Structure 1
Amino acid sequence: MSFARFLRYSTTIGIGGYSAYVLQQNNWDARNIGIVRFGRAAWIVGQVSVDYKFSVSELTDDSEETCEKWSQCHLRSAQRLLKLCSQNGGVFIKVGQHIAALDYLVPKEYVDTLKVLHSRGPRTDLIDIEKVIKEETGKEVNQLFDNFDPEPLGAASLAQVHKATLKTTGETVAVKVQHPNVLRHSVVDMATMEFLFTVVSKIFPSFNFLWLAAETRRNLPFELDFYNEGKNSETMAGILAKFPWLKVPKIYWNLTSKRTLVMEYAEGNFVSDREYFIKAKIDTAELCNRIEQMYSEMIFLSGTVHCDPHPGNILVKKNGRDFNIVLLDHGLLTRLTDEFRETYCCMWMAVLNGNEPEIIRCAKKMGIDLGKEHYAQLLSCMITAKPWSAVKRGLANVPDEKTRNAEVGYDHFLMPLETDHEFLPEFSQKDELRKNASRYFGDISKILATVDRQLLLLMKTNDLIRSIAFTLGNDERRSFLTMTKACYSMLQQKKARESGNSLVKLALQMQSQWFFFKIWVYSLYLWLTWTGPSRKMVA
């Protein structure tokens, strides 16, 4: 046999053998191979880029026809990204969920299309789930559990959860198991995303999503480590122990590893299930109040924040005449520095009181010093999801009926058109989203790329909380009161720590009591005058 023929045969055998190995590692599914996943992502992102370049990039006017063309392009692009996320799964779904949570920062077509990713995660076959459990524990499923429900309770981007019964104690537990290929694919997927986002940002400077790729790369290792999630659960249970109505499921450490998490099984309905609350006569105003108390405690007082409060992670269960809240999925916690918490607290007090100089000062401390004053105004609108007219007036100041009707609503996000602080014209909520989310996306991208990293997850968290409140029909004024109390407490505690004078501390304590009494009186007024859905449910 000639050397050339030997080389040809050996090369063919080598390539064939390696291809078989790669296929075996990907469960004999060619669609899961890294180069295939990269090619799929590159093709779809290329389609999106070409569509924007040749369909709408030259359209800059505000005519109805132009808005419609932009809307259709956004919709086509969102549908392509949904297809990509669904096919590639894992990290891609995680990024799609993040985009879907940015209701007031990206065009509504993306939010409406991608939000299905919160409830439409990929499902892994039971045989593969059992394989992961054996790899992590060294035992078969039937050696650990008397009963293991083959139908998952829920499936998400990184894992799925099954109900089971422990063989040793007979306790009912929830078993969270990581999808088999997620960890292996994550390295290639992150490199793919960073490369494609870099290319897109070079072609379209206004579409800079590199901050999203950077945040995903930073947070993903924590979310893929279920042992870390278990430790986070215990941390959060300790922080929120003051609330008797809150439950964080306990962890069974002997069965927990990096890819499996066994926890106490907790029953309840999703926090978005209004029909259940009507039947159970649960006061949704009080439900929203408790959720906001939880998150105000995390953000303003403890500094450790659960950053994924979408409806699937918050359960509600009737308990006699009361109800309990169950907080799940602690894979992603952010720990805020004291300096950032103080700045963020001051920012909220500034927007509540309409203190524009303080808003600008806080924005600069958060990294927004881009040479234009309106970036600080825009940041305050992004944080609050409110129009600049409302922020400038002060969210704590009660507007007249006409002004309140113009500003109320979760989706009503009006941004400053000019730096001379002129109020925007009043549009419908849908029209305003369509115009402003696209029109100011370049400025929004700059802010997201430069702002303090701690704020990125907080904005996502705040928006998910607002979405829950909007779904339940809560009066947003009560939300502002809850945050005001937490902000005020944090600032007063800081003053007390810095003061070495007992008389000053006593004065601060009396000042706080008087402030909280006024808050209580106003809360009572809101309860007596509120006629929203939550009051009707318990009437």
Structure 2
Amino acid sequence: MKTMEALVKLVSWAFPDFKFSWLVKETKRNIPIELDFLQEGHNAEKVDKMFGHLPWLKVPHVYWNLSTSRVLTMEYVEGGQINDLAYIRFNNIDPYEVADKLSQLYSQMIFIHGFVHSDPHPGNILVKKTQAGGVDIILLDHGLYAELSNEFRWEYSKLWFSILNKDKKGMQQHSQNLGVGNLYFLLACMVTGRTWDTIMSGIQKTKWTNSEKNIRDKEIPHLLPQISDVLDNINRQMLLILKTNDLMRGVEFTLKAQNRKTSFLVMSRCVIQSVYGERLKLCKTWLSRWSTVMSERWALFKLSVYYTYLSIISLPLISSMFDLMKKS
């Protein structure tokens, strides 16, 4: 840690525009947590109970009689790493099913429960074909979880709600509430991994392309000082969320599922449930509660209709017809 702290100070001295003090603080805070194996065991049991309604999620059992704060003994489970495409193909596992289930799990973690497994690299997520032909997701390494406050979870949900609705004013407001001032456009790009033009066009209907990747990769070096400012000033709870988002995007790209509309639908539903869940808690009369519940159901219905429409027009034949109509 001392070496890391010295290097960060050296970099900050050499490049004053780059602020990395937050990195040292977060590392100091997280390392003791990750090294407490009893806490890891409790996290594993908590998430297993929390997501008991997902029969395909498997969390290894903890053997408490063989565990201490320095040794954690857990059930042995078999499976292939989530990015092992050879294993996935050999076992006839549908990568889209894997991506959809992973999206469902993490959307509920972030937007509904506020208890987020924050180290979802491929070595910590296994997949296994079931005898019934489905796919189990096996979640390992429960040392680091982001425990989000309700206030942060609602604010982050409203930021996403604004992004999905291309609501620039809403993005600015909720970014400011999260600690980022006029750099709201940059935070939106960091959260989604998309360019600002794509966000304002509608990320749920705009496919990720190599052209967008090239534009993003060219812009990033010019925005490093601003990115540093965002990371230095943002609500600390957001740091693990950003890390988790990046790791999840990496998994989706490996599975070639980055343009899956199902994943966006699942996430959007959780965002709506979180936003209206906050409104419901603020209701003081039965009429306001009824109105809020009806509004939520209407929003979810419109969402389903919209994604059905997007799925239809993305079919090859329909898409070709639309292209011909545009040309004519």
1:128-165 deviation line (CA, Å, top 9, x unaligned): xxxxxxxxxxxxxxxxxxxxxxxxxxxxxxxxxxxxxx
Aligned counterparts of 1:365 and 1:303: Cα–Cα separation in 2: 18
- 1:529–1:253 CA distance, 2 compared to 1 (3 A): farther
Show the 5 A alignment for 1:476-487: 476-487=260-271
Contact 2:111 2:270 in 1 (8 A): yes
- 1:281–1:511 CA distance, 2 compared to 1 (3 A): farther
* 2:145 partner letter: L
Aligned counterparts of 1:486 and 1:276: Cα–Cα separation in 2: 31
- 1:358–1:393 CA distance, 2 compared to 1 (3 A): same
Number of the residue aligned with 1:226:
37
Matched, 1:348 2:160: yes
Number of the residue aligned with 1:506:
290
* 1:365 partner letter: N
Aligned counterparts of 2:48 and 2:128: Cα–Cα separation in 1: 18
Which residue of the other structure, out of 95, 114, 120, is the alignment partner of 1:284?
Answer: 95
For residue 313 of structure 1, report the CA deviation from its aligned partner.
Answer: 0.6
* 2:40 partner letter: E
Show the 5 A alignment for 1:420-435: 429-430=213-214, 432-433=216-217, 435=218
Contact 1:316 1:325 in 2 (8 A): yes
1:31-73 deviation line (CA, Å, top 9, x unaligned): xxxxxxxxxxxxxxxxxxxxxxxxxxxxxxxxxxxxxxxxxxx
Matched, 1:337 2:149: yes
Aligned counterparts of 2:69 and 2:121: Cα–Cα separation in 1: 23
For residue 250 of structure 1, report the CA deviation from its aligned partner.
Answer: 1.0
Identity %: 39
Aligned counterparts of 1:432 and 1:491: Cα–Cα separation in 2: 30
1:435-470 deviation line (CA, Å, top 9, x unaligned): 322221111111111111100110010111111111
For residue 488 of structure 1, report the CA deviation from its aligned partner.
Answer: 0.6
Contact 1:343 1:362 in 2 (8 A): yes
Which residue of the other structure, out of 170, 173, 179, is the alignment partner of 1:361?
Answer: 173
For residue 502 of structure 1, report the CA deviation from its aligned partner.
Answer: 2.5
Aligned counterparts of 1:506 and 1:380: Cα–Cα separation in 2: 32
Contact 2:175 2:187 in 1 (8 A): yes
Which residue of the other structure, out of 388, 394, 398, is the alignment partner of 2:202?
Answer: 394
1:471-520 deviation line (CA, Å, top 9, x unaligned): 11112433222221001111222222222332333333333334333434
Contact 1:305 1:333 in 2 (8 A): yes
* 2:202 partner letter: G
For residue 240 of structure 1, report the CA deviation from its aligned partner.
Answer: 1.3
Count of residues in Structure 1 that have an aligned counterpart in Structure 2: 314
* 2:256 partner letter: G
Number of the residue aligned with 1:103:
none
Aligned counterparts of 2:101 and 2:223: Cα–Cα separation in 1: 34
Number of the residue aligned with 1:143:
none
Number of the residue aligned with 2:250:
467
- 1:494–1:208 CA distance, 2 compared to 1 (3 A): closer
Contact 1:303 1:336 in 2 (8 A): yes
Aligned counterparts of 1:470 and 1:230: Cα–Cα separation in 2: 30
Aligned counterparts of 1:450 and 1:531: Cα–Cα separation in 2: 43
For residue 242 of structure 1, report the CA deviation from its aligned partner.
Answer: 1.5
Aligned counterparts of 1:240 and 1:531: Cα–Cα separation in 2: 34
> Taking structure 1 as the reference length, what is the TM-score of the superposition?
0.55
Show the 5 A alignment for 1:487-526: 487-524=271-308
1:308-340 deviation line (CA, Å, top 9, x unaligned): 011111111111221111111010011111111
* 1:376 partner letter: Y
For residue 386 of structure 1, report the CA deviation from its aligned partner.
Answer: 0.6
Number of the residue aligned with 2:67:
256
Contact 1:478 1:526 in 2 (8 A): no
For residue 265 of structure 1, report the CA deviation from its aligned partner.
Answer: 0.8
Matched, 1:214 2:25: yes
Secondary structure, aligned partner of 1:290: helix
Which residue of the other structure, out of 435, 453, 456, is the alignment partner of 2:239?
Answer: 456
- 1:517–1:431 CA distance, 2 compared to 1 (3 A): closer
Larger radius of gyration between Structure 1 and Structure 2:
1
Secondary structure, aligned partner of 1:261: coil
For residue 231 of structure 1, report the CA deviation from its aligned partner.
Answer: 0.9
Secondary structure, aligned partner of 1:263: coil
Aligned counterparts of 1:522 and 1:282: Cα–Cα separation in 2: 29
* 2:262 partner letter: R
- 1:522–1:244 CA distance, 2 compared to 1 (3 A): farther
For structure 1, the 5+ residue unaligned runs are: 1-189, 413-426, 533-539
Aligned counterparts of 2:189 and 2:220: Cα–Cα separation in 1: 12
Show the 5 A alignment for 1:79-478: 190-319=1-130, 320-369=132-181, 373=182, 375-396=183-204, 398=205, 404=207, 408-409=208-209, 429-430=213-214, 432-433=216-217, 435-474=218-257, 475-478=259-262
Contact 1:353 1:395 in 2 (8 A): no
Worse overlay, 306-315 or 360-369: 360-369
Secondary structure, aligned partner of 1:262: coil
Aligned counterparts of 1:518 and 1:449: Cα–Cα separation in 2: 38
Instruction: State the superposition RMSD in angstroms.
Output: 2.1
- 1:523–1:287 CA distance, 2 compared to 1 (3 A): farther
Contact 1:355 1:394 in 2 (8 A): no
> Taking structure 2 as the reference length, what is the TM-score of the superposition?
0.89
